[in-house]
Structure 1
Amino acid sequence: MRYSTLTSWAQLLWETLQDDGIDPRPVFAQSGLNPAQLGDGHARYPTDQMHQLWDLAEQLQSDDLLGLKAGMRWHSTTFNALGFAWLASDTLHDALERLVRYARLISNGVHVDIVQRQNLYLLSFDAELTPQRSANLAAVTATVTMCRALLGSSFAPVAIDLKHTYQDPQNAISDFFGCPVQSHAQHSTIALDAQQAHVRLPGANAQLAQLNEKLALENLNRLMLDNLPARVAELIVKYLPTGEVSASLIAQELALSGRTLQRRLHAEGTSFNDLLDRVRQHLASDYLQQSQLSLNEVSYLLGYADQGNFNRAFKRWFKETPLQYRHQALANVKAR
């Protein structure tokens, strides 16, 4: 599956390096990335080369704050139509829902999810390709910066969980977020006050939000069609709970014949069954970390006719039972 990232995300890194007195051109050249594409709002870089870019940039830094400095540079133009739809949202919750829907425009290998836990909303970030430490911190920092664009510079999350650990002798990271920050999390997560998330925003503009969301949807559809495996995976997620997901159903949804779908997937180095198995494996890991879901419910959400089939597939993926996996995952959360 081909993963790509908006070049405007790399623009933040370019500017950060320049401000630190580092010429970014050799870093981009060594990563095989053309800086001329930075000015194109729709251009994309291969995600694996973006990872190399972050790696090289980290090596040139004297501190561990590259991601923080880059994420603080977020501007509405960074995410094109999504950024403007964000600023015109009615509430913070509406804005977060838009981020969840269109995060793949930023990077189509990134998954953003939001769930409610009592009086909190938990916004989590996960990626198909393991992100660099700095890139992960940049994503969380940019999101908080986006929230402050809506709610003011004094906004602070309730808590932050980061996937990685950072050397921060001056407490710059915790000072920026203005809340408790934990490391070694399963996923990087921002905890937000649910009541605050539903306060109407002064800059709300439904017409402007809808107009830019329409543009974001058009761009996402174009990206998904260009990346057929990603589009198939999306539809698998949609139809799994019905228990009727099949190659013929997905082909019909994409206005393709079953044979054409399989041929095009084969050309991409995958197949419908491979994608189905991969999606189930990824979702199974996420669902089992949600303690409110029973094992039967997880099995149902993954489209299995009975829990026995789910258990056998899970042991093939993770070499342990779903219950063992859940106990360990929940123990890791409590240990933090």
Structure 2
Amino acid sequence: MIFWDFKRSPASVDLLVGFGAELGLSASALLRGSGISIAQLSDPNVELAAVKELKVIANLVKLSGAPSGLGLQVGLRYRITTYGLWGYGLISSATAADALAMALRYLPLTYLFNQILYRRQAGVATMHFDAPDFTDDLRRFVIERDMAAAAALMGELVGDGFALTRLQLQPEERGKAGRRLFGVEPVYAASSNQLSFDASLLARRLPGANPITAALCEQLCAELLRRRTTQASTSDVIRQYLEIPGASLPDLATMARHLNTSERTLKRRLQGEGTSFRLLIENRRRAWARELLREGELSVSAIAERLGFADVSSFSQAHKRWHGVSPKARRPG
């Protein structure tokens, strides 16, 4: 599963905005640059590109100051009902094991940015979270958020007695998160991201089990998954990737690797769509330069470095070609 291959419900963004409000952050500030309106958050017919939610997350991380354990706090807010149809399919399953199996089949209907690998060995159930290549603060948040949300989901399904046996995360610990999650202290600076629990808990029968409802939810989830699968062109997929907040601009080889194809094939596909990788990078650089200059938080030299220019002179020349003026002329004030 690659997160940008599927659209998602606005329920997660609504939760993020609600959490931000408790920190004194306005909805407009959190939604800035995402293209999401406040009205869309309560519209059940709206489906969002994952990168839009990622922009809201980036705003939350930045505006909150990224306090220790921020992602863990947010992740614990997710409930089964946050996931809509997918969640109801889980609670109507016969056992926790059946619910987990269904959850893994339809992971694209969630709000994950990590890819999950599940294994069961020697009586221990373990979920591995493969994190995306984001900037440090953003990566830390989505790892913490996705893992805490998964633990909260299992706790809600299994009920009394659910506990983790281990929770480890790759990012370095920032300060002290100051909380135990389902009986364990999170371990940071680990070799991988994983959570584990006693596999025997999966044998528990669920109180809301209903075979007809479960079968119906499974059918509807399959239909929803087909609908949410984006039919994006190669150039659209690259544009979404380039819009990931704070991500460095990749070269052709890196982009081809992300798309599991060769450089030659990637060039051919883009040519068939009437564009090129160089043009896509150029357009993103121009838009990103405009955003960074308007924010006024970075120096011109820092912006040049962020955009991948060799020096300020190269950036200035490019900016004059784009807009007819130097970067300094576009700074606020």
TM superposition score normalised by structure 2: 0.62
2:215 to 199, 210, 220: 210
1:137: which partner in 2? 144
3-state DSSP of counterpart to 2:32: helix
Structure 1 runs not aligned, ≥5 long: 230-261, 271-336
Alignment partner, residue 189 of structure 2? 184
Find the residue that maps to 2:212 and give its secondary structure: helix
- Percent of paired sites with the same residue: 23
1:194-251 superposed Cα distances (whole Å, 9 cap, x missing partner): 111122223322222221121111111222363588xxxxxxxxxxxxxxxxxxxxxx
Q: Aligned partners of 1:217 and 1:268: how far apart in 2?
A: 34
Gap change, CA 1:108 and 1:141, over 3 Å in 2: closer
- The question of whether the paired residues in 2 share the 8 Å contact of 1:31 and 1:53 is answered with yes
Once residues 40 and 178 of structure 2 are traced to their aligned partners in structure 1, the CA distance between those partners, rounded to angstroms, is 35
- Any idea what SS the aligned residue of 1:141 has? helix
Measure, in 2, the Cα distance between the counterparts of 1:80 and 1:155.
Answer: 23
Following the alignment from structure 1 to structure 2, what is the Cα–Cα distance between the partners of residues 51 and 222?
21
CA deviation digits over 1:257-312, x for unaligned, max 9?
xxxxx989954989xxxxxxxxxxxxxxxxxxxxxxxxxxxxxxxxxxxxxxxxxx
1:27 is displaced (CA, Å) by: 1.8
Structure with greater Cα Rg: 2
Instruction: Give the whole-Å Cα distance in 2 for the aligned partners of 1:205 and 1:266.
Output: 50
Shift of 1:177: 3.1
Note closer, same or farther for the CA distance 1:185–1:144 as it changes in structure 2 (3 Å cut). same
Query: Which range moved further: 108-117 or 15-24?
Result: 108-117
Using the TM superposition, give the Cα deviation of residue 101 of structure 1 relative to its aligned residue in structure 2, in angstroms: 1.0
Query: Which residue in the other structure is 2:19 paired with?
Result: 16
Contact 2:91–2:209 (CA<8 Å) still a contact in 1? yes
- Matched with 1:319 is none
Contact 2:17–2:30 (Cα < 8 Å) also in 1: no
Counterpart CA distance in 1 for 2:14 and 2:101 is 25
Shift of 1:81: 0.8
Deviates more, 1:43-52 or 1:113-122: 43-52
**Other-structure match for 1:222:** 227
> How far does residue 76 in structure 1 lie from its aligned partner after superposition?
2.6
Evaluate the alpha carbon distance shift between residue 177 and residue 168 of structure 1 in structure 2; reply closer, same or farther with a 3 A threshold.
farther
Counterpart selection for 1:58 from 47, 61, 82: 61
Q: Take 1:264 and 1:109, find their aligned partners in 2: how far apart are those partners? A: 26
Aligned residue identity for 2:219: K
Displacement of 1:181: 2.4
Q: Is residue 2:200 matched to residue 1:195?
A: yes
**In structure 2, do the counterparts of structure 1 residues 109 and 13 end up closer, same or farther at CA, with 3 Å as the change threshold?**
closer
If each structure's helix is expressed as a fraction of its own residues, which one has the higher value? 1
1:42: Cα distance to partner?
5.0
1:26-41 mapped onto 2 (5 Å cutoff): 26-41=29-44
C-alpha deviations, 1:48-74, integer Å up to 9, x for none?
333332222112225223222221221
TM superposition shift of 1:137: 1.1
1:151 aligns with: 158
Cα distance in structure 1, aligned partners of 2:64 and 2:11: 21
Counterpart contact for 2:71–2:143, Cα < 8 Å: yes
TM-score (norm 1): 0.61
Q: Is residue 126 of structure 1 aligned with residue 130 of structure 2? A: yes
CA distance in 2 between partners of 1:204 and 1:269 (Å): 52
Say whether the 8 Å CA contact 1:11–1:38 is kept in structure 2. Answer: yes
The RMSD of aligned alpha carbons is: 3.1
- Give, as a single letter, the amino acid of the residue that structure 1 aligns with 2:118: I
Give 2:306's aligned residue: none
Paired residues, number: 236
Do the aligned partners of 1:151 and 1:201 also contact (CA within 8 Å) in 2?
Answer: yes
How far does residue 5 in structure 1 lie from its aligned partner after superposition?
3.9
Select the residue among 48, 57, 73 that pairs with 1:69. 73
> CA separation of 1:129/1:8 partners in 2, compared to 1, >3 Å: closer, same or farther?
farther
Distance 1:120 1:34 in 2: 44
**Counterparts of 1:190 and 1:10, CA distance in 2:** 25
Q: Quick check: 158-167 or 220-229, which moved more?
A: 220-229
2:80–2:87 contact (8 Å) kept in structure 1:
yes
Aligned AA for 1:88?
S
Tell me how far 1:20 sits from its aligned partner. 1.9
- C-alpha displacement at 1:128, in angstroms? 5.0
- Which amino acid is 1:32 matched to? G
* Residues 228, 265 of structure 1: 8 Å contact kept: no
Distance 1:84 1:29, change over 3 A: same
Q: Is it true that 1:78 corresponds to 2:79 in the alignment?
A: no
